[in-house]
Structure 1
Amino acid sequence: MAERILLAGCGDLGLRVAARLLVQGDEVWALRRRPPPEAVPGLRWLGADLAAPHSLGSLPPGITRVVFLPAPDARDKAAYRSLFVDGLRHLLQALDGRALRQVLLVSSSAVYGEHDGDWVDEDTPPAPPGFNGELLLEAEQWLAAQAVPSTVLRLAGLYGPGRLQLVERLRAGAQRVPRETPHWANRIHADDAAAAIVHLLRLPAPQPVYLGVDDTPLPLDELYDFIAQLVDAPLPAEGPAPTGVGSKRLGNARLRASGWAPEWPDARDGYAALLDT
């Protein structure tokens, strides 16, 4: 059955979601402060600011599902609160709640803390080490308390076309990596993340929270060494673990059990295909 779906925040990941929804015959609206000049066939753009409630007065009626996946302009606490906490509240207040059947919040594995390499799943208590995780968790908790049915997808680190900053740092010899004590990395290809979002919009009775991650957690030095060798870059030197990102292995058993499977279950294969194009 075709849906009327609003993508609140529509950057690269949102466009990947939109493409899949349009193929399925859904009516798709995409909200951004500044819609891009190029047209996407079938996609209906809305120019609005989630942080400015007065700009949300012309939302289309009858939206049945919302995917909330904005990206902040700045990595600071005020920007995250304005967008993820206040912006979510502004949006739901502006929508016609009578038609709305699901809100899917794209969150992050940043809500989890340090686990010394242990396995983490949806039942692991959140303990965000940074303000970004704290505010995403606050948005999750606020949404769960609303009357509308909601789903949270906590994504691991995204990679894919156009997300090659790590590769450039490796080529420049500017990347460091911990080697003496393994620090576990968790990734998901952007196309697999988009497929997971569309999958959760179609589930008849989704659970409240899912982890979006591939099948293969990797020690950070192993992943970075592999990518460096792919691009003939020097292996990264010893350095500290990333700040604000605990070492943990994320499990995707719940999402897989619901019927989703990644096209790229191992980031090494995903990066190899990406860098071979």
Structure 2
Amino acid sequence: MAERVLLAGCGDLGWRVARELQRRGDEVFGLRRHPVAQDDDVIRWVQADLTRPETLSTLPEGITQLIYLPTPGAREQDAYRAIFIDGLRHVVQALDAKLLKRVVFVSSSAVYGEHDGAWVDEETPPAPLAFNGQVMLEAEQWLSSQPVRSVVLRLAGLYGPGRLQWVERLRAGQAQVPRHHPHWANRMHIDDAAAAIVHLLALPNPHALYLGVDDTPLPLDVLYDSIATLIAAPMAPDGPAPAAVGSKRLSNARLRASGFCTRWPDSRAGYSELLR
């Protein structure tokens, strides 16, 4: 049976999710703060502000699935709390809980702290290093306390079209990378992330939590050097590890065990396709 799905926040990732949903025959609504000129053949647009509950009074009726994946207006704690805690509460409370079969909350691997390159999975206790992970974790915990069936997907760093800023810095000779102590990078192609979200909507008996990441964590210098070779750029010199990220290898074993397969299991192949 076709679902009526609301995407709360509908940027690049949301549009790719919507396209996947439309292919399976669902009716898709995309909530945005700023108006969109008209509906298209994939999304019916809804103008509302997640931080202003009075604007959510005209949400479409009969929503059966909610995907929560907004983007904060600024990389500041107040902006994150307004979107991921207040906004999540507002939209869940605005929908009919009797009809809402599932909520997928798109969270972040930022909820994990420093693990010195060790493997991390869904059973690893979270210990966020910065406010973004702290807010995401608080939002996850609030959602788990609600009388709706919810699934959290903690995404690793996404890459894809339009997400190649660090590659341009590498090309310009402006990038640095730690070389004397491995700092592990975890990536997922944005199309794989979209497919994983749709996959979790359809699972009959999902776990409450999954990690969204490809099959191949890489030392950051290995990833950078492979891209430098692809674009004929100089190798990045030794430098500090990314701040407030933590070195860890994220495992997607639970997601794979659910039947999901990545199209791009190794980010080196994904970046190669993009750059070619």
What TM-score, normalized by structure 2, do the two folds share?
0.98
Q: Deviations over 1:224-254 (max 9, x none)?
A: 1111221122211111000110100000000
C-alpha displacement at 1:167, in angstroms? 1.1
Secondary structure at 1:7 match in 2: strand
In structure 2, C-alpha distance between the alignment counterparts of 1:199 and 1:69, rounded to whole Å = 15
2:57: which partner in 1? 57
C-alpha displacement at 1:39, in angstroms? 4.8
Q: Which runs of 5+ in 1 are unaligned?
A: none
1:73: which partner in 2? 73
Secondary structure at 2:31 match in 1: strand
Q: Deviations over 1:30-77 (max 9, x none)?
A: 001114447531310011111111111100111000000001121010
In structure 2, C-alpha distance between the alignment counterparts of 1:159 and 1:165, rounded to whole Å = 10
1:4: which partner in 2? 4
List aligned pairs for 1:106-145, cutoff 5 A: 106-145=106-145
Contact preservation (8 Å) 2:102, 2:149 = yes
- Structure 1 segments, 4+ long, off by >4 Å, are none
In structure 1, C-alpha distance between the alignment counterparts of 2:242 and 2:40, rounded to whole Å = 37
2:268: which partner in 1? 268
Give the letter for the 2:229 counterpart.
Q
Secondary structure at 2:210 match in 1: strand
2:253: which partner in 1? 253
Give the letter for the 1:181 counterpart.
H
Q: Which runs of 5+ in 2 are unaligned?
A: none
In structure 2, C-alpha distance between the alignment counterparts of 1:228 and 1:77, rounded to whole Å = 34
Give the letter for the 1:224 counterpart.
Y
1:185: which partner in 2? 185
Secondary structure at 2:18 match in 1: helix
Identity of aligned residues (%): 66
Distance verdict in 2 for CA 1:124–1:97, change over 3 Å: same
1:13: which partner in 2? 13
In structure 1, C-alpha distance between the alignment counterparts of 2:61 and 2:36, rounded to whole Å = 23
What TM-score, normalized by structure 1, do the two folds share?
0.98
Q: CA RMSD in A?
A: 0.9
Distance verdict in 2 for CA 1:38–1:164, change over 3 Å: farther
Q: Deviations over 1:79-116 (max 9, x none)?
A: 00000011000111111111101110000000000000
Distance verdict in 2 for CA 1:38–1:267, change over 3 Å: farther
1:23: which partner in 2? 23
Secondary structure at 1:80 match in 2: helix
In structure 2, C-alpha distance between the alignment counterparts of 1:162 and 1:61, rounded to whole Å = 34
2:206: which partner in 1? 206
